[in-house]
Amino acid sequence: MSQGIANRIGNYLYADGAMRKRVINGTTYIVGIAGAYDAFGLIGSEHNGIFILDDTNKRVLTDRICEQSSGYYGPNQSQWDCLRDYMKAPAKQFLAMVQNSPRYRG
């Protein structure tokens, strides 16, 4: 199996070490770098990038941020940097970044 899709949370496949958690105002967010999206057995490595889940309320907030042509072989440096930026952002900025992402589902 490729390193970019070694682990799974929901429909998102991700590399070792490419998932983090943070808590803001009692809500736990999962922020990760998807190497692919599993659409009921069809593995789409072209659908990759940062995903953000609201683990407290069990919902997808956004995904496919900082996409690359394929996530099958693991995150690129730009995706690692993007993950770092989401994790280091102050709470208010983090929430704004999530809400302003093109695929926000909140």
Task: Write the pLDDT tens digit of every residue in 22-62.
Answer: 999 999 999 999 999 999 999 999 999 999 999 999 999 99
> What is residue 3's predicted lDDT score, i.e. its pLDDT?
85
> What is residue 85's predicted lDDT score, i.e. its pLDDT?
98
Judge whether residue 1 has pLDDT over 60: no
Domains in the chain: boundaries = 3-99
Q: What is the mean pLDDT of residues 56-78?
A: 96
Instruction: Pull the structure tokens for residue 30.
Output: 């999962």
Report d(CA 85, CA 59) in Å as an integer.
22
| 22-31 CB contacts, 8 Å cutoff, 24+ apart | 22/87, 22/94, 24/91, 24/94, 24/95, 25/91, 26/56, 27/54, 27/56, 27/57, 28/54, 28/55, 28/56, 29/53, 29/54, 29/55, 29/61, 29/94, 29/98, 30/55, 31/83, 31/86, 31/87
